[in-house]
Structure formats: C-alpha cells, structure tokens
Amino acid sequence: MHETTLLLVEVGALLLAMSLLGRLALRLGISPIPFYLVLGLAFGEGGLLPLQASEEFLATASEIGIILLLALLGLEYTAPELFSSLLTSRRAGIVDAVLNALPGAALALLLGWGPVAAVALAGVTWVSSSGVIAKLLRDLGRLSNRETPSVLAVLVIEDLAMAFYLPVLSAIVVGVSLVQGAIAVAVAVGVVALILFVALRHGHVISRLFPAEHAEPLLLGVLGLVMLVAGIAQEVSVSAAVGAFLVGIALSGRVAANASAVLTPLRDLFAATFFVFFGLTTDSAALLTMLLPATLLAAITILTKLVSGSYAARQAGVGTLGQWRAGLVLAPRGEFSIVIAGLAVGAGVEPALAPLATGYVLVTILAGTFLSRLPDAAWFRAAVRRRRAASGQAGTASAAP
C-alpha cells in the first residue's frame, strides 16, 4: 500500500475509534482522556497493531493540540487577571516546587541513580500537565470557577520556571559550560518578559490586527500568531504552551470571543490527538517493568500536589470545596515530564528513568482524570459540609467561657 494511502487509512481509523470512545465517555459521564490513552497504547510500540505511516503526522498534530488548548484557555482571561493571579500565587508556586520536586529527587537517590538523575526526576514530579488540565477544566465546566485562576497561576508559574530549569538541566546532563547555560537562561527569561509586557501593555493593539466579524481571516490570523509565538518561545527553551497562553491573554473583546468560537473545533481535534499520540509513544513492555515504583511515586505526589493546589486556592480566598477542586485537578503530569526524562536519558543518564517517567505520567493522568471529579459528587460535598459544620461548632465551643 502506498505510504500516503496508508497514512489516510491509519488516521481515518484512529479518528473513527476516537469518536466511538468519546461517545462512550459521554454515556459514562467521564472525560474521554483515559480512553484516548488506552487507544494509543493499543496501537503503539508493544501494542496489538503498531501504526507505521502516521506517527510523524500525529506527533505534529499533538504539538498543535497542546498549543491550541493553552491558547483558548488564555482567551478566557485578561492580562490584568493573569497578573493579579500570579502576584497572589507566588508563595504557592514556591510551596508547589518544594513539595512536588522533593519526592522525585528522593526516589532517584534511593534507587542509587545519582544526583543528576535526582535533578531530572525532581522536574518530572514537579510540573503538572497544562494540556491535560486545560482539557479537564473545560470538560468539567470549571473555566468560570473561583479556584480556576489559582490553578492557572500555578501552571503558568511552573511553565515559566521551566525557562530556568531546562537550560540548567541541559547544562548538567550534557556538560555545557556555566556561561553557556547562563546565556540560555537569560535569553529565555528575556523572551518571556517581552511577551508578558506586550500582552499587558499592548494587547488592545494586537486585537485590532484581526477582523472580529470575519471568520476566515480571524481564524487564519489568530492561529498564525499563536503558532508563530509558540515556535519562537520553544526555540529559546521556553514552553510553547506558555507562548500560546500569553497570546490568548493578549487578545480581548469581540476578537477574543469570536476567535474562541472559530478555533474550538480545531482544538477539539488536535487536543484529542495529543492524548492518543502519548499512548502511541509509550512502550507497553518497558512500562510494565517500572509500573510499581511509578505508581507509588504517583500516589505520593498526587497528595503533595493536593496540598500545594489547595494552598494556592486558599491564598486566593477560595472556599474549602474549591480548594479540593484545585488540588485534585493539578494531579496529572504530562508533556514536560516526558521532555525532561527524554533529555536526561538521551544524554546518558540512567536509562530506567524513561519507563519510570512514562509510567508515572500515565498513572497520574488516569488517576487525576477520575480524582478531579470527586468534588462534584454529592457524597463528597456533603462530607465537606459536615466537616465545616463540625469545625465551626468546635470553634464556638472553644470560644465559650
């Protein structure tokens, strides 16, 4: 069969399967993410029927999916809202880094992998997946919730921190000189600062570049700007997702609302492809060898992320139920964790780090997809109310003479 024909057959079959699984997820009332991951595992390396012609196409589509997820998330907020959330959540960002990086570093040292692997695994367990969480927030209808700005602030702080972390990690694992590492960090931070400045001060000017009432030029223009900025950001070791998110933040008014409408179908297509591609690139056989330590590490860091996410929401004045929602929705790790592990293993650091990181990410995504729904359950809300009432009674009793 001709390669182009095989590509069309494989992509068409995958899209049909994704449609059926998405419909099943709707029937069950859950997010389709776990189904997309399992579909990818079934057709990935070590799966039932590995795909041959479509992997490169799906890799590109998955990158676009992450970019669109974050761009449309940015369109939901204004630059002042983002800046205010970042200021409020700066302490939460520090708590998040310490609580979630330490378990990964500790496990690497316990396994005898050495300090370089410890630095890498610390990054794997620290950073939540912006792409997965953006989709969960949308699927759960929480974009307008009070705790969502706190969640987004934590994600943005983590992604911005990667502008420092990735060049430093590269210098450690590859042996780049201190001066070269410092230059890479300075360039990355400069680009982020420039994008933030333009978004905050000149977002209204950027919005005027696009015709709000004409769908085709609006779609092409906004999509082009998002991908251009994301590509430039990635070139200087900043997350492409951060670049896309900040473009979304910069747009406002009718341009933002209409751009969101025309880009939503594209986002749905490419975002779903991201999760399938993640499963496709997972070696099922290697995954099994590290599944137990990956699961234990996931259990520990889901709890630490719950603590740090709840703290961030509490700092913003969010109630108890919102704190639970913020902490649980931050559980999934994803694209950055895989990039960090790949960077370390590619430079000759402990080979077992790759299957451990893959298993860890898969477990956190699956667990996080279900755990994030817990605060919506009637029994969970009732339990929170009972505990709040009991705390109030205890406080009244202790204040009584």
Any idea where the domains of the chain sit in the sequence? 73-217+227-261+285-375
Q: Which of 371, 339, 304 is nearest to 129 (CA)?
A: 339
Tens digit of pLDDT for each residue in 142-172?
Answer: 988 999 988 988 988 887 777 677 767 777 7
What does the angle CA 369 – CA 280 – CA 36 come to, to the nearest 5 degrees? 35
User: What is the DSSP secondary structure assignment for residue 162, as one 8-state letter?
Assistant: H
Query: Rounded distance, CA 47 to CA 184, Å?
Result: 39
pLDDT digit string, tens, across residues 380-395: 999 888 887 776 655 5
- Residue 351 is which amino acid? P
Q: How far apart, in whole angstroms, are the C-alpha atoms of residue 352 and residue 344?
A: 11
What per-residue confidence (pLDDT) applies to 398?
47
Report how far residue 262's alpha carbon sits from residue 77's, in angstroms, rounded to the nearest whole number.
17
**Candidate from 75-84, 216-225, 367-376 with smallest mean pLDDT:** 75-84
Highest mean pLDDT among 213-222, 245-254, 334-343: 213-222
* pLDDT on residue 328: 95
223-261 residue pLDDT tens: 999 999 888 877 776 667 777 877 888 887 888 889 989
Count Cβ atoms within 10 A of the Cβ of residue 289 and give its class: 0-12 exposed, 13-18 middle, 19 or more buried. Answer: middle
CATH number 1.20.1530.20 is the correct assignment for the domain at 73-217+227-261+285-375: yes
**Stretch among 96-105, 269-278, 328-337 having the lowest mean pLDDT:** 269-278
Residue 312 CA to residue 55 CA, distance in Å, equals 39
> Which residues are CB-contacts of 195 (< 8 A; sequence separation ≥ 6)?
229, 233, 243, 246, 247
Question: Looking only at Cα atoms, what is the longest distance across the chain?
Answer: 86
Q: What is the pLDDT of residue 400?
A: 47
Highest mean pLDDT among 13-17, 98-102, 182-186: 98-102
Question: Band of the pLDDT at 105, cuts 50, 70, 90?
Answer: very high
Highest-confidence segment of 6-15, 86-95, 226-235, 298-307:
298-307
Residue whose C-alpha is closest to residue 90's, from 311, 240, 250: 311
- 211 φ, ψ (degrees, to nearest 5): -80, 110
